Chain A
Amino acid sequence: MAGIANNLEFYLVVSSVFFVFGLLAALTRKNAIGIFMGVELILNAAGINFVAFQAFHKKASSSPMLDGHIFSMFIIILAAIEAAVALAIVLRVFQSKSSINPDGMKELKG
């Protein structure tokens, strides 16, 4: 347990797995909500990286910097905002097209 928790690579592997899954979801889903979920995964992968690097940076230098934590806070907040806006868009698209397949969204009008 301690060996895993003290290993930076472990966190990076987890975050890259998250990133790849998120990317795959964003590229392949035929459902706009699924794509947004993929984007959320990508964002959170970045968040994990920030926090992990911050934690190990701190261990190495014992400085009180909080940049990584603050960045991950911003990521969380931005992700929440993004979700709100995205869902609102999806809702409007669904109202006008009765579908949320992104391939259907070719026109800017209507």
Chain B
Amino acid sequence: MSPNIFCAILIVLLPLSAYIIQTAVGKRLPRMGDWVSTGAIFAAFCLATKIFISMWTNYSPDWVESAHWTWLDIGTAAMPLKLEVGIHIDNITAIMLFMVTLCSTLIHLFSTGYMRDHHGKPADGYRYASFFSFLSLFTAGMLGLIVSDNLFTLFMCWELMGLCSYLLIGFYRHKISAANASLKAFMTTRIGDTGLFIGMLLLFTFPLVDGTSLGSFRFEDIYAAISSGAFQGELLGMPVLFWLGLLIFCGTVGKSAQFPLQIWLPDAMEGPTPVSALIHAATMVAAGVYLVIRMFPILEAGHVLTIVAYVGAITSLFAAILAMKQYDIKKVLAYSTLSQLGYMVLALGVGDYKASFFHLITHALFKACLFMASGAVIYAMHHEQDMRKMGGLWKKLPITFATMLIATLAISGVPGLSGFVSKDQILVSSLAFWKENPAHFFVPIAAFITAGLTAFYMFRLIFMTFFGKAHDKHHYDEAHEVPVNMWIPLAVLASLSFGVLFTGSLSGGLFGHKGADGHYHGDFIFGHFNGWFNHLVTVPRAFAAEHYAHFEHLVHEMHGPGMYTSILLASLGILFSWMVFSLKKPSPEFLSKLVPGFVHKAIDNLYFFDWFYIKVFIKKLFLPVSKLFSVFDDSVIDGIAVDGWKNVVNFGKKLSSRFDDVIIDGVLVDGVGGKLPSSLGSNLSFLQNGKIQRYLFVAAGALALLLVFKGVL
């Protein structure tokens, strides 16, 4: 076993054992064991750094290390059933491991401050220990998912995360809204998971061209089968690959909260803020995108990608519109997460696999920063989340303000920051996609509008929270900068929001580009490692190479116009936001009057999705069905089966009572009875003394005697 594989196993086991320790003895440890979880995840981070360094020393797009073992082998030759599990490490795994462990370590550190009150006492008593145990389990689930080399263990970790999200979103269990939100998150993602599971079973069992079934969940085997064209055949009038792709994408729709299952994610804000940071940045929602990245060849071969692109475009645009009218600081960030996830899915849909993964990483870093900064604001304001009651906080919280500003610039797509680079790639790819398929003009339009809206609503958050006059004097006077264990995570994540770390270019590629000669020109400073991210992340082997080369060419062509439009839109968004929310010219009230009433109504009701699901699906569909079953229970099972038996039994009872009276009572009891039983009873009653252990002893002794004398008898 190579050292990297060993490290990968340890990375999963460390948080898992922290979870076990925390659950078993967490309450009794000093500081309720928050250091166990934090230390374990920090150790995992160190190991992930080791893997990350191996990736750098190899510096090759094809670097792969893997190992697998047979877990279960119970089939026959005719029907093989062999489950293999293993570890797969490539560049994507290494980058993901580094990002997840880093974010998770910082979130653990932040929680040691956030989950305590202002006097340093754990805010929820013993629940403080459980909080850290759940955080550890959540992280272990995500890490297990990343290192899996097969869909089976991936799915197990996937479900583990579903459970943890339920536990953590409903952490404030005295609040009925939190309990409902956790249930909603769990049930909604379950719909997608069911699709994914059906897809997995179909993948495992569907007859291939040569008559056998794949019989494996390993990515390697799936890729090989796809690229050799083994999945032919149809199902319900469509190619089976289409169904496979669609069903697997269902999992992503649930987990990454895409249209039409996006309803759970905003409600998930009921959890503590570090949980929101963990769910929205490093773990849960990233898992959905990661699944599509791993299963990209299936989606590509099944021609599902156009659907994927539209789902992403719709999600990103509609979530961005919702974000503009939120007053809860965390809700704004929740909708911005939805919107950015939409971007990632859109990028996958248009076929730019690299850009999606790139945005996944950069977004995770700056969104974790944004969430924890909003957590710091909420903490400083004594758990006030309404932005209308904030204002002018930048003097009181200078570090939080600075870090949040950097992350906001990053998400808005300002040159020089990481969000600019990754979002720019997505926008340019969407343009290239449109160039290839002129009919799909909606996708790039939605992407560009969302880019402008993102800058607008994120700066709305900044202006409402940190600038202007304080709207709540009492809270404002009490607000003060958060303690050091809470601002260090913010500072680390903000410093990772600079594009230069990913590209080597100080401006994030604005001044300079990769020339046709393969060298970098302009303000690139990393020498040999310029553009390392794009160099290391490669498209999967099954992906059609010639098509991709053509696509690359189109991307290159659209790079200039795409980039300048995105900068223009971002600056327009920021400028407009400044005019509206800082200068108040035009005032927000005036703007909101311009929007027609039905649009307001739609936004306030979240486009009626919740209404639709509850009224139509649950009330009109599930309740009648459950009523039907209860009618069946009452009339058929209860009425015919149970009551019918009653009549039969009653008849039997009458017969036997006649028998009793005449034969037993009359002949046997009065005749034979009398003396014999009573003398037997008094003599044998010592056996029936009601002491159960004596009975057991007699039974065991009799059995032993029987075994010993078996030969004699």
A35-B693 contact, Cβ under 8 Å, with A23-B700, A27-B700: yes
- In the complex, are the beta carbons of B690 and A105 less than 8 A apart? yes
* Size bracket, chain B contacts: 10 to 19
- In the complex, are the beta carbons of B691 and A64 less than 8 A apart? no
- CB of B76 within 8 A of chain A? yes
- CB of B712 within 8 A of chain A? no
Nearest neighbor of A42 in chain B, beta-carbon distance: B700
Which of A23, A27, A28, A64 is close to B76, meaning CB atoms less than 8 Å apart? A64
**Which secondary structure dominates chain A's binding surface?**
helix
Least Cβ distance of B567 to chain A in Å? 62
- In the complex, are the beta carbons of B75 and A64 less than 8 A apart? yes
How many residues from A make CB contacts under 8 Å with B?
Answer: 12
| CA distance in complex: A105, B692 (Å) | 9
- In the complex, are the beta carbons of A66 and B74 less than 8 A apart? yes
Least Cβ distance of A57 to chain B in Å? 13
- In the complex, are the beta carbons of A27 and B74 less than 8 A apart? no
| CA distance in complex: A26, B690 (Å) | 16
- CB of A59 within 8 A of chain B? no
Greatest chain B CB density within 10 A among A64, A102, A106 is at A64
- In the complex, are the beta carbons of B697 and A102 less than 8 A apart? no
- CB of B696 within 8 A of chain A? yes
- In the complex, are the beta carbons of B74 and A106 less than 8 A apart? no
- In the complex, are the beta carbons of A26 and B693 less than 8 A apart? yes
Instruction: Tell me which residues from 1 to 27 in chain A have a Cβ below 8 Å from any Cβ of chain B.
Output: 23, 26-27
Least Cβ distance of A2 to chain B in Å? 17
Which of A27, A66, A106 is close to B696, meaning CB atoms less than 8 Å apart? A27
- In the complex, are the beta carbons of B700 and A106 less than 8 A apart? no
- In the complex, are the beta carbons of B697 and A106 less than 8 A apart? no
A27-B691 contact, Cβ under 8 Å, with A64-B74, A64-B76, A66-B74: no
- In the complex, are the beta carbons of A27 and B697 less than 8 A apart? yes
Chain A residues whose C-beta falls within 8 Å of the C-beta of B690 in the assembled complex: 105-107
Interface flags for B364-386 (1: CB within 8 Å of A; 0: not) read: 00000000000000000000000
Interface flags for B69-98 (1: CB within 8 Å of A; 0: not) read: 000001110000000000000000000000
| CA distance in complex: A102, B690 (Å) | 9
Instruction: Tell me which residues from 73 to 108 in chain A have a Cβ below 8 Å from any Cβ of chain B.
Output: 102-103, 105-107
- In the complex, are the beta carbons of B691 and A102 less than 8 A apart? yes
| CA distance in complex: A106, B693 (Å) | 12
Chain B residues whose C-beta falls within 8 Å of the C-beta of A35 in the assembled complex: 692-693
- In the complex, are the beta carbons of B693 and A102 less than 8 A apart? yes
Chain B residues whose C-beta falls within 8 Å of the C-beta of A28 in the assembled complex: 693
| CA distance in complex: A27, B692 (Å) | 9
- In the complex, are the beta carbons of B691 and A103 less than 8 A apart? yes
Least Cβ distance of B270 to chain A in Å? 33
| CA distance in complex: A50, B696 (Å) | 24
Chain B residues whose C-beta falls within 8 Å of the C-beta of A66 in the assembled complex: 74
Instruction: Tell me which residues from 678 to 713 in chain B have a Cβ below 8 Å from any Cβ of chain A.
Output: 689-693, 696-697, 700
Instruction: Tell me which residues from 14 to 61 in chain B have a Cβ below 8 Å from any Cβ of chain A.
Output: none
Interface flags for A55-74 (1: CB within 8 Å of B; 0: not) read: 00000000010100000000
Nearest neighbor of B80 in chain A, beta-carbon distance: A64
- In the complex, are the beta carbons of B700 and A102 less than 8 A apart? no
| CA distance in complex: A27, B700 (Å) | 9
Nearest neighbor of B703 in chain A, beta-carbon distance: A23
| CA distance in complex: A23, B698 (Å) | 12
Least Cβ distance of A22 to chain B in Å? 11
Chain A residues whose C-beta falls within 8 Å of the C-beta of B693 in the assembled complex: 26-28, 35, 102-103
Interface flags for A21-57 (1: CB within 8 Å of B; 0: not) read: 0010011100000010000000000000000000000
Least Cβ distance of A7 to chain B in Å? 21
Least Cβ distance of A94 to chain B in Å? 16
Nearest neighbor of B700 in chain A, beta-carbon distance: A23
Chain B residues whose C-beta falls within 8 Å of the C-beta of A23 in the assembled complex: 700
Least Cβ distance of B654 to chain A in Å? 28
| CA distance in complex: A27, B75 (Å) | 43
- In the complex, are the beta carbons of A26 and B696 less than 8 A apart? yes
| CA distance in complex: A35, B693 (Å) | 9
Chain B residues whose C-beta falls within 8 Å of the C-beta of A103 in the assembled complex: 691, 693
Least Cβ distance of B557 to chain A in Å? 58
| CA distance in complex: A107, B690 (Å) | 8
| CA distance in complex: A66, B74 (Å) | 8
| CA distance in complex: A103, B694 (Å) | 10
| CA distance in complex: A28, B692 (Å) | 11
Nearest neighbor of B704 in chain A, beta-carbon distance: A23
Chain A residues whose C-beta falls within 8 Å of the C-beta of B689 in the assembled complex: 106
Least Cβ distance of B79 to chain A in Å? 8
Nearest neighbor of A38 in chain B, beta-carbon distance: B696
Nearest neighbor of B690 in chain A, beta-carbon distance: A106
| CA distance in complex: A66, B690 (Å) | 41
Least Cβ distance of B359 to chain A in Å? 45
Nearest neighbor of A32 in chain B, beta-carbon distance: B692
| CA distance in complex: A64, B73 (Å) | 9
| CA distance in complex: A53, B375 (Å) | 58
Least Cβ distance of A53 to chain B in Å? 16
Chain A residues whose C-beta falls within 8 Å of the C-beta of B697 in the assembled complex: 27
Chain B residues whose C-beta falls within 8 Å of the C-beta of A105 in the assembled complex: 690, 692
Least Cβ distance of B75 to chain A in Å? 6
| CA distance in complex: A27, B379 (Å) | 59
Nearest neighbor of A107 in chain B, beta-carbon distance: B690
Least Cβ distance of B703 to chain A in Å? 10
Nearest neighbor of A30 in chain B, beta-carbon distance: B693
Chain B residues whose C-beta falls within 8 Å of the C-beta of A64 in the assembled complex: 74-76
Chain A residues whose C-beta falls within 8 Å of the C-beta of B76 in the assembled complex: 64
| Sampled A-B contacts (15; CB under 8 Å) | A27-B696, A27-B700, A28-B693, A35-B693, A64-B74, A64-B75, A66-B74, A102-B691, A102-B692, A103-B691, A103-B693, A105-B690, A105-B692, A106-B689, A106-B691
Question: Which chain B residues have a beta carbon within 8 Å of chain A's beta carbons?
Answer: 74-76, 689-693, 696-697, 700
With contacts A102-B692, A103-B693 known, what are 5 further pairs, Cβ within 8 A? A35-B692, A102-B691, A103-B691, A106-B690, A107-B690
